[in-house]
Amino acid sequence: MSEPEKSENIPDESAGKGKEIPNGGNPAKTKEDFDLAAVYVSDAQYNRNIYFDTSPQAVRLYLLYNHWLSKVLLYFFILLDLSLAIFEEPAVFSLPIWATMLVELLCLLAFTIRLVHYAKVIPRDKFWKDPKNICIIVTLMLTLVDMIIYGALKATNCYGVRWSRVLRPLLLINVTEGRQLRRAFRSIRNALPQIFYVFLLFMFSVLIFSLMALKLLGKRGLKTIDGAPYFTNYLEIVFDLYVLVTTANSPDVMMPAYNASFVFAIFFIVYILINTYIFMSVFLAVVYNNYKKYLKEEVRQLVRAKRHKMARAFAVLQEQREEGGELVVTQANWNQVVRLVRPDISNAHRELLWSVSDDKNQGSIGKVAFVQLADLLNIEVITLKSRPHPLHSLCPAFYLSAPSRLLCRIVQHRAFVIVYDLIILVNAVFIGLDEENPMIANSEWVFLALYLLEILLKLYVFEPRAFFSRHSFWNWFDTIIVISALIATIVNSAMKSSGGYTSRQILDIVFILRVLRLIRVVDSIQRFRAIINTLIRIGPMILTFGQLIIVVYYVFAMLGMELFKGKVKFFEDPNDPAKAYCGNPLLKDTAFAQLNYCKNNFNNVVSSFILLLELTVVNQCSGFATVTHISARIFFVLFHILVVIVIINIFVAFVLEAFFVEYSVDKSDLQTSLERKIEELELAVEQYVTVTTRMFEADLDPEDFAENDDQNGNFANPTFSSV
Amino acid sequence: MSEPEKSENIPDESAGKGKEIPNGGNPAKTKEDFDLAAVYVSDAQYNRNIYFDTSPQAVRLYLLYNHWLSKVLLYFFILLDLSLAIFEEPAVFSLPIWATMLVELLCLLAFTIRLVHYAKVIPRDKFWKDPKNICIIVTLMLTLVDMIIYGALKATNCYGVRWSRVLRPLLLINVTEGRQLRRAFRSIRNALPQIFYVFLLFMFSVLIFSLMALKLLGKRGLKTIDGAPYFTNYLEIVFDLYVLVTTANSPDVMMPAYNASFVFAIFFIVYILINTYIFMSVFLAVVYNNYKKYLKEEVRQLVRAKRHKMARAFAVLQEQREEGGELVVTQANWNQVVRLVRPDISNAHRELLWSVSDDKNQGSIGKVAFVQLADLLNIEVITLKSRPHPLHSLCPAFYLSAPSRLLCRIVQHRAFVIVYDLIILVNAVFIGLDEENPMIANSEWVFLALYLLEILLKLYVFEPRAFFSRHSFWNWFDTIIVISALIATIVNSAMKSSGGYTSRQILDIVFILRVLRLIRVVDSIQRFRAIINTLIRIGPMILTFGQLIIVVYYVFAMLGMELFKGKVKFFEDPNDPAKAYCGNPLLKDTAFAQLNYCKNNFNNVVSSFILLLELTVVNQCSGFATVTHISARIFFVLFHILVVIVIINIFVAFVLEAFFVEYSVDKSDLQTSLERKIEELELAVEQYVTVTTRMFEADLDPEDFAENDDQNGNFANPTFSSV
């Protein structure tokens, strides 16, 4: 429950150990050796944890397994499988059953191939020990069984439920290399026992307050706004007070009692203080504390596994310079491996990395220095600053002339930024004004021209590859937005002048792009930039939470669609009399219908997802209990517990932790030593290490290799357990 | 802005230094010396930071200033002053103006006396340097001026506004020894700049989204549910989207766009993700980070101040045993001082403390050991366990007889607790049933008898003073609840049998007490006890936040009453036609009136407070903008920013920090050494150190005395700056 599961153990040391014996001769390394070492290094760099066979053909299969194309294909099939919900009944776009079934079979086939491929790569006994694989196999089998049953039922015109659809997200968790997603699920699972005890106490408090409310208010003959008796049924009270914690029915639930006497308001105030404020904070504290604790442990194991792999790569490459001397890796061998791992990096960059590792200039490095390589490769070095502008090389006479130099000075001046910030502000006002006015409409061309001019000027002044380097977020953002806006505006005015017809969609895109252009202004304010940069940096991790949310939403959407499909209908036609009660007579005169919530339904997967998002923000579900049964509320309470109390709190904990790290962390030693070297060479360095790794990596002793933990043949592998 | 203000500096070392000179002779200490030392120790123990004159009469005045009676009187007058709002127009209970004026004058007089007393205690130059005192004087003057103006206006029947009422909470902050409240305000003020930048960015995001919404949705001719045009006015959109962040108008604000096309839902989803989830988490992160940072610094200074004071007490008491030897305090002098500081503790307890301080048994202690005294006095030691039961001393033959011993064993057995937990559960079911049934009504007597029996049995088995020790929360809770329930039930049935008439109020109290009795069950579950104990321990700090909230609520209530009094009326009579629109024709057919929110108004201070609490939970204010002006929304947005974004986040940060400390903190060294001593003496120790102090005290070197920081005569006093 608390320990990451230990599978894929017993590292296959034979390949490395075999090379250790020929000490004196130092036989030349074969191509297979370099391939193997490169795979180890690359695994360490990307934190992959797969214990593949070390035979040359297994290594080749393993390379294929990790190839970007096979990963893209896998994600495509998962996406296809998940998006089938759009076409299956209740569908957004209806397709015949045989079509969706066929596509699903194709997906299942693709997952099976992937699994077989994986089984070929790793030793057989390891394959069967891994719960992840068992989980995939069971899911595939169950899906197949369900499809057969459903097909048979449909063929005989019986009613059938595609219950295996709730299993689909399991594939997203287990089939992909979605380590972070699995880690997030594990961290939830680990936090559950503690959350559970607080939850029990919280529910106890809700039950006690409900009992008190029943006794205090039940016999007073109060009426709700609908004229129903107020607080007379215990279970109703429990539910109402639970919803009050989500603040959804505040202050409505309190008004009848408050109207009777203001003394009763005290009851609700105490309730809100204890249950909404204190208990919800305690939930956050428990989730946050567990999150930190387990994440720390997982990251520690990840770092240990990385070092272990680098040590294995070292064992493959090691040589002994003199009899009884230290085992080392020579620069030639090191170069060979780095070239295999990262064919894209320049010679200068590679030499820089070598000079950081071999800081005493001995021509060879020991184990400790070699192990750093995986981290060194993860530090983004931009070697472009020293590179001259292409125009400078092409026609230096022109580029270095006085007017050209003046232009460069102007563009680099602070005033240039300020002028463009003012232009953006003026543009914002123009956007706010009525665009039907021809003067305003034409001004758009002026602004577009100004923005284009800015980008061109910057490209003239700065080296284009530096300008469009991988992490110059704002340059990319600017250019993409301006060019898209240019294209969309041209298309729009072409359509307008040709047929006098304006496509609403294109106009919408033009508007959105225009407004997005304004965001750029935050980049010129130092304080804002710091906050935005942190947000951009935690972006990838937010995507992990996105996946987590999608998994949970998908399961609830599938359940919800089975439970509530067709119960609440939305009518496009405003004159349809059924529109007033969402096509369900049970909803006549309810607040749900009066507030025009008819489109909040489970009639297809898209509206289900939107409804679930609304429920995450504010848990309003009265309508669905009305159209089905009072017990439908259980579905909504479960959803609230899982999403709001657990997942949103983990999300908040994650953002908190990321900001604290931004506030407190210093650069790693490695980065500092790299920067020192770079300063000598006058290069620019940019930081690119994922946040979570940085959070706890500092705790680990650099001399601590995984082998030390390995004496009993058990290597704690943090990524190989499934949900 | 960032540093706590340094006033009351330049410690008056003369008293202490004077004693340092007569080394050889070691003259006997005078009574004044002991008094002075006792005042220093007691100040250190309770973290008081007042630099009083050291002359004997100033010390006597200072003792009077710190006397509990003068503090109670002060709090009484503050409470009286604040509660005047109940009697002033718009009043809950109306009193003539001369009466409230007279009471307010009395309060002002009391505050002036307190201030004069304070001025006598501390040196004059220090008094005028302290912004707290200036603030009090200005507040008193302004209040007086306002009262004169208002009285004159009323006398001539003109319209007057008692604007100085918003200043009243300033007295709560500054007059009292409410150090924690001032610290909380300072921590808010310190966090403001950082919060402000995030807030600007957040508002920028809201403005950009609003502009996009205007462009996308404004021209589509959509209608809200009231038939008003949807998203056509920019400022309206900004406000609506701001309220969406508080989740108050979700999903209503999105429904018209969503009904038009589900694509627009994406806009709202992105908005909610960025502004509700990410920005609100960033606010929490910023507030939390600042809170930790400044609290840490403040507590560090507090601990330093405490050590400084103990060092001064040491300087008063110190002697030199032999020529050139270490300066020490003898056991006799130490005993004398401890007796003065804590006359209530027993000789055994005092000897225990001495044996912890003088662990080498030398008969005297040095400075480092002496300084610990303040903390030692704060550790609650229960010396009662070793004390025999009074019955054991009175009639040992009976108390030690076999049946009596069997009874003791039964009561102490685990099964006894389980049996009573079961009784509580059965009782819960009985409470839930209809109490009009005579069988159920009579069962209440059985349960009361059972609970009384339990308390009596426990008192028979456990030593009564141990049972009712200061921190046996649950024993106190149980006894008070059961005895109150007994009294209330007897009164109730007496009234019933005498006149057949049941007082609703008494019945309510009986019901509440019955239900509260059930809470006891959580104490028998270990996991729950841990959570509850943490909550009880942070209780006093939650009270500080209560004061903080009351200060902010009071100011907003006073403002709100001036702005909105009488605009929305509540009618008790359900047949009054004006009830349907809250007595204001402008509210006809608005959601505000339809939902029967008429009692949510600013017509008196009580309903203002309740309304402000509702606004804290969910910010619904449409009604008030309708009855006055659209700009009334500013009041509500300001309230939301201050209370929800700043104060609630600080509250959450505080609860988080308290729980993390509970999860991680070990006992202090001092406590461990005390416990070791106690084990030898077979006593029980109970932990009672306030949470915040424990949070950071461990960071400080125990040899680090304040004198070291004091070279330039500047002693950073953390408690003497005002808001």
Residue B648 or B176, more confident: B648
Distance CA A172, CA A214 (A): 46
Question: How confident is residue B528, by pLDDT bands cut at 50, 70 and 90?
Answer: confident
Report yes or no: B210 at the A interface, CB cutoff 8 Å.
Answer: no
Give the Å distances, CA to CA, from A241 to A234, A245, A282, B433, B514.
11, 7, 18, 20, 20
Nearest to A285 by CA among A3, A645, A638: A645
Give the pLDDT score at A557. 93
- How does pLDDT run across A365-377, given as a tens digit for each residue? 888 888 888 877 7
Tell me what pLDDT residue A644 has.
87
What does DSSP say about strands B327-330 and A381-382: parallel, antiparallel, or unpaired?
unpaired
Considering only CB atoms, which chain A residues are within 8 Å of B235? none
> Are the beta carbons of B545 and B183 closer than 8 angstroms?
no
Least confident of A239-243, B223-227, B272-276: B223-227
**Domains B49-176 and B390-524 belong to one CATH topology:** yes
Q: Residue A243: is its pLDDT beyond 50?
A: yes
Quote the percentage of chain A above a pLDDT of 70. 85
Confidence bin at B241 (pLDDT 50/70/90): very high
What does the pLDDT read at residue B558? 92
As a whole number, the mean pLDDT across chain B is 80
Give the pLDDT of residue B35.
85
Long-range contacts for B332-340 (Cβ within 8 Å, ≥24 apart)? B333/B29, B333/B34, B334/B365, B334/B370, B334/B373, B336/B29, B336/B34, B337/B34, B337/B37, B337/B38, B337/B41, B337/B313, B338/B41, B338/B373, B338/B377, B340/B34, B340/B35, B340/B37, B340/B38
Lowest mean pLDDT among B72-76, B488-492, B714-718: B714-718
Quick check: B201 and A508 CB within 8 A?
A: no
What average pLDDT does the segment B268-286 reach?
A: 91
Count other C-beta atoms under 10 Å from residue B268's C-beta: 24
How many percent of chain A have pLDDT more than 90? Answer: 13
- Beta carbons of B276 and A617 less than 8 Å apart: yes
Predicted local distance difference test score (pLDDT) of residue B594: 80
A273 CB contacts (<8 Å, ≥6 apart)?
none
Judging contacts by C-beta atoms under 8 Å, the chain B residues touching residue A532 are: 201
**Rounded CA gap, B239 and B222, in Å?**
18
Name the residue facing B277 among A289, A512, A651 (closest C-beta): A651
Chain B residues with beta carbon closer than 8 angstroms to that of A659: 282, 285-286, 289
Is B276's Cβ below 8 Å from some Cβ in A? yes
Q: Given this model, what pLDDT does residue B711 score?
A: 34
As a whole number, mean pLDDT of residues A451-467 equals: 86
Per-residue buried b or exposed e for B554-572, using 16+ beta carbons within 10 Å of the residue's own CB: bbbbbbbbeebeebbbbbe
| Nearest CA-CA distance, residue A454 and chain B, Å | 22
**Residue A383 — very low, low, confident or very high, per pLDDT cuts 50/70/90?**
low
Mean pLDDT within B397-408: 86
What residues in A contact B265, CB-CB < 8 Å? Answer: 610
| ipTM of model | 0.84
User: What's the CATH fold of domain B185-298?
Assistant: Helix Hairpins (1.10.287)
The pLDDT of residue A63 is above 60: yes
CA distance A418 to chain B (A): 18
Is it the case that residue A404 has pLDDT exceeding 90?
no
* pLDDT class of B554 with cuts at 50, 70, 90: very high
For residue A17, which amino acid is it?
A: K
Quick one: pLDDT at residue A715? 33
pLDDT for the residue numbered B238: 92
Residue B718: band (very low, low, confident or very high) from pLDDT cuts 50, 70, 90: very low
Domain B390-524 has CATH 1.50.10.20: no
Rounded to a whole number of angstroms, the distance from the CA of A649 to the nearest CA of chain B is 10
Residues of A (656-685) whose Cβ lies below 8 Å from B: 656, 659-660, 663
Q: What is the pLDDT of residue A380?
A: 63
Q: What is the pLDDT of residue A552?
A: 92
Contacts of B531 in chain A (CB under 8 A): 197-198, 201, 282
- Which of the four pLDDT bands, split at 50, 70 and 90, describes residue B691? very low
Share of chain B above pLDDT 90, in %: 13
pLDDT of residue A104: 93
Question: Which distant-in-sequence residues (6+ apart) come within 8 Å of B247 by Cβ?
Answer: A247, A617, A618, B276, B618
CA of B121: how far to CAs of A138, B65, B134, in Å? 81, 8, 16
Does residue B386 carry a pLDDT above 60?
no
Residue B48 phi/psi, 5-degree rounding, is: -85, 145
**Distance in angstroms (rounded) separating the CA atoms of residues A252 and B485:** 32
Which residues sit opposite B330 in a β-bridge? B364
Mean pLDDT of chain A: 80
Residue A278: which of B211, B620, B655 has the nearest Cβ? B655
Phi, psi of B500 (to 5 degrees): 70, 10
Can you point out the beta strands (E) in B591-644? none
Judged by DSSP in three states, A610 sits in helix
DSSP-assigned states of every residue in B644-691: IIIIIHHHHHHHHHHHHHHHHPPPPHHHHHHHHHHHHHT-EE-----H
Q: Which of B215, B289, B542 is opposite residue A431, by nearest beta carbon?
A: B215
Task: Band the pLDDT of B583: cuts 50, 70, 90.
Answer: confident
Exposed/middle/buried for B483, CB within 10 Å: 0-12, 13-18, 19+? middle
Which residues 159-198 in chain B show a CB within 8 A of chain A?
197-198
> Which CATH number describes the domain made up of A393-524?
1.20.120.350
Q: Tell whether the model's pLDDT for residue B436 goes beyond 60.
A: yes
A694 band by pLDDT with thresholds 50, 70 and 90: very low
**If you average pLDDT over residues A422-426, what whole number do you get?**
89
Report which of A549, A500, A556 is spatially closest to residue A649, judged by C-alpha positions: A549
Q: How far apart are the first and last CA of chain B?
A: 11
Cα distance between residue B508 and residue B519, in whole Å: 18
CATH topology of domain B49-176: Four Helix Bundle (Hemerythrin (Met), subunit A) (1.20.120)
Report pLDDT digits (tens) over A524-550.
Answer: 888 888 888 888 877 877 888 888 889
Cα separation of B366 and B329, whole Å?
Answer: 7
Nearest CA in chain A to B507: A216
Q: What number of CA atoms fall less than 13 Å from residue A453's CA on the CB side?
A: 12
- Cβ-based contacts of B660 with chain A (< 8 Å): 285, 289
Does position B25 have pLDDT exceeding 60, yes or no? no
Eight-state DSSP code of residue B585: G
Nearest-CA neighbor of B603 among B552, B564, B635, B574? B564
B613 chain-A contacts, CB cut-off 8 A: 269, 272
Q: Number of A to B CB contacts under 8 A, please give it.
A: 189
A-contacting residues in B 400-439 (Cβ below 8 Å): 428, 431-432, 435
Average pLDDT, stretch A64-81?
A: 89
Locus of tokens 């066929």: A102
Q: Pick from B208, B259, B281: which is nearest to A655 by CB?
A: B281
Neighbours of A388 (CB within 10 A): 10
Is there a contact between A522 and B201 if contact means CB atoms under 8 Å apart? Answer: yes
Where is average pLDDT lowest: A487-501, A608-622, B482-496? A487-501
Residue contact A515–B269, C-beta within 8 A: no
In whole angstroms, give the CA distance from residue B218 to residue B229.
8
Contact A648, A616 (CB under 8 A): yes
Q: Does B236 touch chain A (CB under 8 A)?
A: no
| Reported confidence tier of residue B639, pLDDT bands at 50, 70, 90 | very high
pLDDT at residue A692 in the model: 39
A278 touches chain B (CB under 8 A): yes
| B-chain residues near A511 (CB < 8 A) | 212, 215-216
Query: What token pair was written down for A202?
Result: 């919280």
**Burial of residue A92 (number of CB atoms within 10 Å: 0-12, 13-18, 19+):** middle
CA distance B531 to A517: 50
Residues 6+ apart with CB under 8 A from A40: A309, A310, A312, A313, A316
Q: Where are the domains of chain A?
A: 49-176, 190-298, 299-389+672-710, 393-524, 539-664
Other Cβ atoms less than 10 A from the Cβ of B112: the count is 13
Give me A42's structure tokens.
Answer: 């690359």
In the sheet with A364-365, reading across from the earlier edge strand, the strands are A319-320, A327-330, A364-365
What CATH architecture applies to the domain A190-298?
Orthogonal Bundle (1.10)
Judge whether A257 is closer than 8 Å to chain B, CB to CB.
Answer: no
Least confident of A199-203, B5-9, B504-508: B5-9
pLDDT band for position B65 (50/70/90)?
Answer: confident
Please give the span between the terminal C-alpha atoms of chain A, in angstroms, as a whole number. Answer: 11
SS3 content of chain B, % helix, strand, coil (to 5): 70, 0, 25
- Residues 6 or more apart from B26 whose CB is under 8 A from it? B319, B320
- Is residue B43 within 8 A of residue B63, CB to CB? The reply is no
